[in-house]
Structure formats: C-alpha cells, structure tokens
Amino acid sequence: MTPYPFTAIVGQERLKLALILNVVDPAVGGVLISGEKGTAKSTAVRALAALSERKTVEIPLNVTEDRLVGTLDLTNAVNSGEKCFEKGVVLQLHFGTFRNVNTAAFNKIGKDSGFDVFRASVDTDALARLLDKMNTKLGDLPKIILYPLNDECLRAVCAISGAFPNVIVGAAWWFNDTVSGIKRQLETVSEYAVLGTNLGMLTDSRSFSSYVRFDFYRRILSSFIADKVDHGEYDEKSALALAKDIAYNNVKEVLGL
C-alpha cells in the first residue's frame, strides 16, 4: 500500500520537525516517539521514510543496543589479543515470491492484495554466492534466517545453511504454513540441517488473531518431536529441552530479547 503523504498529516508539528531533522542530519541520533494510539506515530515515520526513499525497519521494543549495532567480542579479544566485533543485526531473507501475478486485480486494487504466488524454481546457487560474497566482505556473517517460499528447494537451502556460520533455516512460511507444510519443513531441517537451532514460528503481523498461529505451530512441533520419541530417536528429557528451545529459548537468544 502507498504510505500516507507526510505533508497531509495534520498537527504533530514537533514530531514532524524531529523526524525531518533526523533525515537531514542522522548524527542527531534518533527520536523517541510516544503517544496515544491513533496519533499518527507510525504513519509519520513511514510517510517520511517513503518521501526520503529510506526503508523502514521494525525491531523488537526491548532490543538491546549490542544486539542491534553489535559489540566488542570479549571472548575472541581475550583469546586472540585482537580487537574483534560481534555483529548485532539479524537479517531475515524471504525469497521465491512471484508478486502481483493478476494484472487486472493489481490495476483495480493495488499491490500486495492477495495475488502473489511462489516461483516455480529458486536459484540456490545464487543464494550460496550471495552469502559467500557477504561473508568474504564482512569477515563474518551476522545472524541470517532463510525463508524459501517454494519448499522444493528446502534441502538445498538447509545444506547451504550448514556451509556458513550464523545462517539458520526459518519456519515454514506463507503457503507452507499448513499442517503438512510445517511437518515437511521440520523433517527436512532435521535431516539436512540442525533442528535444535530452529527459531520456531515468527510473524510480523500485529493482529491479535494471528497469535493462534504460534499455538498451531507448537502443537505440530510437539507432535513431530513426540513421534521421534516413540521411535527411539530422542529420550523424553532431550525432547522436552528441544521443544522449549525451538518454541522459546532460541529466538529469545538470537533477537536479544
């Protein structure tokens, strides 16, 4: 959807001035915005971001500074005697989407209105080259979570995640967020990557009704792990610890919550 025009926002002069000053001079260091619901806080930020051709990035409210911008890696500094920095940004890559395939609907309703599909194929070689280029340039990758929409490439994506530190395969996404889709994803990750580092269900939705997806995912995860216990692949204590890590502990650690 097209952001609300910044110049059309009535009132909030101090807020608009503060945001403009940050765009003009980023050294200002940011603005803390507070206020009642419906007072155009998010609207103003997104409107100015669109006007200045900058991307709006949402982060958890209680994210710590070291998780956001990085910090000194004390362990490596002590062991090697060299100054090493630990990157704090978590990058989520969603790929394999074919957007707005219905031209008539696009012209009538606009983009992102429910007419997206997944691509027939995904170039996982290009993904590997991208991660290699980032790793070579940065020296060390930040945390990266991969979400392929076409799960036909999931085995290759899982293998790629094992070739680079800090790269994790995310939960079944969008069209794959179904009972069978989640089960396929869990099975493939456990076979070709590491299930214990999985971050479980994530969502960028602000709708309260979407919270049931977490319960939906966790029930399928519990059934999947319980089946492994029944077949003697996990003992009950390890299975319980695995379920807690995937459902809660891993994402809390990665996002610094």
| Residue 114 pLDDT exceeds 70 | yes
Q: Report helix, strand or coil for 86.
A: strand
Angle between helices 154-161 and 179-192 (to 10 degrees): 40
CA 82 to mean position of chain CA atoms: 31
> What amino acid is encoded at 5 in this protein?
P
Q: What separation in angstroms does the CA of 76 have from each of 64, 80, 100, 164, 240?
A: 21, 6, 47, 19, 32
| Residue 2 pLDDT exceeds 70 | no
pLDDT band, very low/low/confident/very high, at 5 (cuts 50, 70, 90):
confident
Nearest to 130 by CA among 99, 91, 88: 91
Q: Are 170 and 145 in contact (CB under 8 A)?
A: yes
| Residue 245 pLDDT exceeds 90 | yes
Q: What ranges in the chain are assigned the alpha helix state H? A: 13-24, 41-51, 65-69, 74-80, 103-109, 124-138, 154-161, 179-192, 212-230, 236-244, 250-255
Report if pTM > 0.85.
Answer: no
| Residue 71 pLDDT exceeds 60 | no
Average pLDDT, the chain: 80
pLDDT band, very low/low/confident/very high, at 252 (cuts 50, 70, 90):
confident
pLDDT band, very low/low/confident/very high, at 200 (cuts 50, 70, 90):
confident
Residues 6+ apart with CB under 8 A from 234: 225, 228, 242
